[in-house]
Amino acid sequence: MDFDYLVFIGRFEPFHNGHAAVARHALGRARKLIFLVGSADTPRTIRNPWTVAERAVMIQAALERDVDRLIIRPLRDHLYNESQWIAGVQRAVAEAIRDDDGADSARVGLVGMDKDDSSYYLREFPQWPLVDVQHTETLSATELRRYLFEAGDIDFHGALLMLRGNVPAPVFDMLDAFRKTSPAHAQLVAEHQFIAQYKASWKSAPYPPTFVTTDAVVVHSGHVLLVHRRAEPGKGLWALPGGFVGQNQGILESCLRELREETRLKIPVPVLKGSLKSQSVFDHPERSQRGRTITHAFHFDFPAGGLPAVKGGDDADKARWIPVSEALEMGPKLYEDHLHILEFFLGRG
């Protein structure tokens, strides 16, 4: 064995034959394989349909003969703070080795497929030698998710055959059971259809559109104002009040309009403007499934006083003041990158 531990970072949505090939190669080079399962603590979406626990079961089922040599740990995203993400990787690996009673001098390496710009992260850990595994011919995870969610719209048996041919047999059984029995699958299919129709409506545009939105981070007496989404995308998730910039409005004015429409917040506009503490732009290319969406978030802060009455309206069926400590733990219940926006303004990001 060349290594005591090899580290395999990925989302594994789902765990497919390409992932399995990398894992088997790694198990031939290292005593144990540490899986860092990314996009932990996120809601179910068509991009991230499965929890870390579900993906861990996929990995263990696909590599059952070597399950005692696998260490699986969650890895949170930090969309707007790469240093924190790198630190999270380093911390997770150190904890995994410590919990395995590994030595401080353990030989650690990184394993993966350095295939394109999306593999940039493999070069961010120079302390770990890279085992670059050649690409195994398989459909991408994105394509496999599309087959799963389109199974009712296109050739049903053909979609299942494509899934069966590109994931390990135990993983296919899990995906088929998820499709047949999980209430989450129906919600994801509805979201997939909405996004497909939304993108189709912009197909005739001469260039791919870039959408501009606003979000309001209103903090009052240790609480943050959130709304419960009533429609796709993100139906049923909690979100910051916000929406698209009006054609005849500035960005701040659009933010205040959306805030009023979605929460019925009665604080006068001059008072809101006077409480503006900071603002920032959030532009991760994959922050929205609808397409390239850049949001301008405004942080309004009221340190003390009774919480003003709020009521859901427009695109929100509820509006509620949530304690900041609770909101920062709502990752799987928060829409898009709104947890990251909250962390940015409230000091944890």
Q: Residue 153's pLDDT is what?
A: 56
Over the chain (349 residues), the average pLDDT of each successive run of 10 is 96 96 96 98 95 98 98 96 96 98 96 81 94 83 92 68 94 94 93 93 92 98 96 94 95 97 95 97 95 97 95 86 96 97 85
Task: Return the CATH number of 3-185, one of 3.40.50.620, 1.10.150.120, 1.20.1260.10, 1.20.1250.20.
Answer: 3.40.50.620
Q: Residue 237's pLDDT is what?
A: 96
Q: Is 210-346 in the same CATH topology as 3-185? A: no
Q: Residue 23's pLDDT is what?
A: 97
Task: Return the CATH number of 210-346, one of 3.40.120.10, 3.30.390.30, 3.40.50.2300, 3.90.79.10.
Answer: 3.90.79.10
What ranges do the domains of the chain cover? 3-185, 210-346
Q: Residue 297's pLDDT is what?
A: 98
**Residue by residue, what is the 3-state secondary structure of the chain?**
CCEEEEEEEECCCCCCHHHHHHHHHHHCCEEEEEEEEEEECCCCCCCCCCCHHHHHHHHHHHCHHHHHHEEEEEEECCCCCHHHHHHHHHHHHHHHHHHCCCCCCCCEEEEECCCCHHHHHHHCCCCCCEEECCCCCCCCHHHHHHHHHCCCCCCHHHHHHHHHCCCCHHHHHHHHHHHHHCHHHHHHHHHHHHHHHHHHCCCCCCCCCEEEEEEEEEEECCEEEEEEECCCCCCCCEECCEEECCCCCCHHHHHHHHHHHHHCCCCCHHHHHHCEEEEEEECCCCCCCCCEEEEEEEEEEECCCCCCCCCCCCCEEEEEEEEHHHHCCCHHHECCCHHHHHHHHHCCC
* This prediction's pTM: 0.92
